[in-house]
């Protein structure tokens, strides 16, 4: 039992600082993403598919720079982009579906899409060795 408790403590200690920074940057990313999608989709009336694609590319690059500067992830743009492709496609399709078929706003749809993938992204980044544990 003590071995399991110690194992969990080590994992929490190992991930707590990086996850905290990942979370703070993720909140910033989510705010940028929601505001930009609101502007592009709801104000400029660009289609949800095109608008959310443009926004996700811009916000992902900004986020990558912040992750590297704060040393949350290792400097590996190829690995970062490769990991993001599936997440970004899922987010874009979710927003497109929620806006064009359900009738939700761009801001609300973005909130739902970003919230769903947040924890999964950290787990995948960690699994593929992108999270910097130094």
Q: Where are the domains of the chain?
A: 2-127
Calpha distance 96→89 (Å, rounded): 10
Read off the tokens for 103: 């009738």
Residue 69 reports pLDDT greater than 60: yes
The arithmetic mean of pLDDT across residues 16-22, rounded, is: 82
Backbone φ and ψ for 77, nearest 5 degrees, come out as -60, -35
Read off the tokens for 50: 């095109």
In total, the chain counts a number of residues equal to 134
Half-sphere exposure at residue 23, Cβ-oriented, CA atoms within 13 angstroms: 7
Helix axes 106-127, 77-97, angle to 10 degrees: 150
Burial of 109 (0-12, 13-18, 19+ CB in 10 A): buried
Calpha distance 33→31 (Å, rounded): 5
Calpha distance 105→108 (Å, rounded): 5
* pLDDT for res 70: 92
pLDDT tens-digit readout, 97-113: 999 999 999 888 888 88
pLDDT tens-digit readout, 70-129: 998 888 889 888 888 888 888 889 889 999 999 999 888 888 888 888 778 888 888 888
């Amino acid at each position: 039992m003590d071995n399991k408790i110690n194992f969990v403590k080590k994992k929490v200690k190992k991930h707590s600082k990086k996850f905290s920074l990942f979370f703070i940057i993720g909140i910033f990313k989510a705010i940028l993403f929601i505001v930009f999608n609101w502007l592009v989709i709801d104000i400029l009336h660009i289609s949800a598919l095109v608008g959310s694609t443009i926004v996700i590319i811009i916000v992902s690059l900004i986020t990558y720079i912040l992750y590297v500067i704060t040393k949350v992830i290792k400097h590996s743009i190829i690995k970062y982009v490769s990991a993001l492709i599936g997440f970004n496609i899922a987010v874009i399709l979710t927003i497109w579906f929620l806006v064009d078929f359900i009738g939700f706003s761009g801001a609300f749809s973005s909130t739902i899409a970003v919230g769903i993938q947040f924890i999964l992204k950290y787990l995948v980044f960690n699994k593929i060795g992108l999270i910097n544990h130094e």
